């Protein structure tokens, strides 16, 4: 018999399982590290992939826009921006010619305090212009192959040079974050975001996939209409430390970042399991259903069709997003999938993503939510992980095979050939 313990909120849950049923657990790979933090960003800037150094690309007098993420993203802009600005100055660009644009997508505008937090005191007080993107102030440039309009925030479109800062991690329908995603959806119009993200229900739109992914293919085609001159993308560990950095060409450097993510978090499995028991990784990753959804999406790649996912997520703060809550409470799974195709709504899209998992597997939930609420949102409630596992065996048979994902929010399983 094997005893398993998973993080759950600020506590743990545990269960026992026979060795004969246990296929193993999925954990991140340990990879060798060199420099970390700012030193790793400097190394990347000094050794760009597919381009000259940034200082050799820009020219004095050029208007330079740096696009970076908003307050909802984990990108440590305050650590990266000073190094990028220093490189620009060494290329003859004055601070007065530099604008930092926060890529809001469909999110709310920042307060001045949030802007200062994002860029750090030195950059905030330096004279560099700081600007939130505005989806209502965009320039129309064309149309991508899968129907995404290229509508870009005017100050970004009119700049002489564009630099994009971001982090690379798995994204559940764009394949990976980072790269050209700073422009789409980062600084795009609402109609462009709607068109691009509505492709999330099409084949190929999944985590860890680039080729044949209609969402990512349109994102990358943006540069056919508007060049990105340089990117700086970082890979973060579970403590949000910069462990890898990649700079240079918008696609070549981004793909190098994707390979690093694969090396760390893409985990091969020999067979899919009948039952997958998952934890997002404890607090704050399971503080609400909206945050915990990423773990559920990753788990679907490890479970057989018709199997069971046991989702151990405290979700003590409930749903976590209004549109998400409205859809989960008031729509059937098949209705969500059809409606997101016609009308992409940020927040509600995660409800549609859960509905797609429900088409593949049953979801047994161990949480701090009321049982009736869990049933209402199409899951089956259980008081403990052990009771849920026993019920899963009762349904699928005593010989059912089990995979455990203790850090399901960051690990992406794939079936080895």
Query: What does each of the 417 residues of the chain score in pLDDT, given as a tens digit?
Result: 999 999 999 999 999 999 999 999 999 998 888 899 999 999 999 999 999 999 999 999 999 999 999 887 889 999 999 999 999 999 999 999 999 999 998 778 899 999 999 999 999 999 899 999 999 999 999 999 999 999 999 999 999 999 999 999 999 999 999 999 999 999 999 999 989 998 999 999 999 999 999 999 999 999 999 999 999 999 998 788 999 999 999 999 999 999 999 999 999 999 999 999 999 999 988 999 998 999 999 999 999 999 999 999 999 999 999 999 999 999 999 999 999 988 888 889 999 999 999 999 999 999 999 999 999 999 999 999 999 999 999 999 999 999 999 999 989 999 998
- For the record, the structure tokens of 379 come out as 């899951």
Q: Which among 204, 70, 45, 62 is positioned nearest to 131, based on CA atoms?
A: 70
Burial class (CB in 10 A: 0-12, 13-18, 19+), 322: exposed
**Residues 194, 230: Cα–Cα separation, whole Å:** 26
Whole-angstrom CA distances from 318 to 211, 350, 367, 368, 370 are 36, 14, 10, 9, 10
Domains 2-29+270-415 and 37-265 share a fold: no
Closest by alpha carbon to 271, among 26, 21, 2, 23? 23
CA 56/CA 53 separation, integer angstroms: 5
Helix axes 77-90, 112-119, angle to 10 degrees: 70
Q: What is the pTM of this model?
A: 0.89
Give the angle subtended at the CA of 367 by the CAs of 298 and 25, to the nearest 5°.
Answer: 40
Closest CA to 406 of 268, 281, 269, 272: 281
pLDDT at residue 343, as a whole number: 83
Domain ranges of the chain: 2-29+270-415, 37-265
pLDDT of residue 308: 98
Distance between start and end Cα atoms, the chain: 30
Q: Name the CATH superfamily for 37-265.
A: LarA, N-terminal domain (3.40.50.11440)
Give the whole-angstrom CA distance, residue 384 versus residue 371.
Answer: 12
CATH architecture of 2-29+270-415: Alpha-Beta Complex (3.90)
């Amino acid at each position: 018999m094997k005893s398993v313990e998973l993080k759950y909120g600020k506590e743990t849950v545990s269960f026992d399982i026979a060795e004969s049923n246990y296929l193993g657990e999925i954990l991140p790979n340990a990879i060798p590290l060199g420099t970390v933090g700012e030193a790793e960003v400097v190394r990347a800037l000094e050794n760009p992939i597919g381009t000259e150094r940034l200082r050799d690309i820009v020219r004095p007098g050029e208007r330079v826009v740096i696009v970076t993420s908003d307050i909802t993203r984990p990108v440590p802009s305050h650590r990266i921006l000073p190094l990028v600005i220093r490189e620009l100055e060494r290329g003859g660009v004055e601070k007065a010619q530099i604008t930092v644009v926060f890529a809001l997508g469909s999110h709310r505008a920042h307060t001045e305090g949030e802007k200062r937090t994002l860029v750090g005191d030195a950059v905030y007080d330096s004279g560099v212009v700081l600007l939130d993107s505005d989806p209502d102030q965009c320039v129309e440039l064309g149309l991508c192959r899968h129907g995404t309009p290229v509508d870009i925030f005017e100050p970004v479109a009119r700049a002489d040079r564009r630099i994009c800062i971001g982090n690379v991690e798995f994204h559940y329908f764009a394949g990976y974050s980072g790269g050209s995603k700073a422009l789409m959806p980062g600084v795009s119009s609402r109609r462009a975001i709607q068109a691009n993200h509505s492709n999330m229900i099409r084949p190929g739109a999944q985590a860890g996939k680039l080729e044949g992914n209609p969402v990512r293919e349109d994102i990358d085609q943006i540069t056919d209409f508007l060049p990105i001159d340089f990117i700086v993308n970082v890979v973060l560990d579970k403590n949000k430390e910069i462990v890898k950095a990649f700079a240079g060409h918008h696609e070549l450097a981004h793909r190098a970042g994707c390979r690093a993510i694969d090396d760390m978090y893409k985990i091969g499995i020999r067979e899919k399991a009948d039952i997958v028991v998952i934890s997002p990784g404890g607090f704050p990753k399971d503080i609400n259903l909206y945050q915990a959804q990423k773990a559920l999406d990753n788990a679907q790649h490890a479970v057989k069709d018709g199997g069971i996912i046991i989702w151990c997520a405290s979700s003590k703060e409930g749903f976590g997003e209004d549109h998400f809550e409205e859809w989960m409470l008031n729509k059937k799974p098949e209705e969500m999938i059809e409606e997101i195709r016609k009308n992409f709504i940020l927040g509600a899209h995660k409800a549609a993503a859960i509905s797609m998992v429900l088409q593949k597997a049953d979801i047994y939930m161990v949480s701090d939510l009321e049982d009736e609420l869990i049933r209402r949102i199409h899951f089956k409630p259980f008081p403990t992980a052990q009771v849920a596992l026993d019920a899963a065996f009762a349904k699928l048979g005593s010989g059912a095979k089990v995979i455990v994902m203790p850090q399901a929010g960051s690990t992406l399983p794939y079936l080895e050939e």
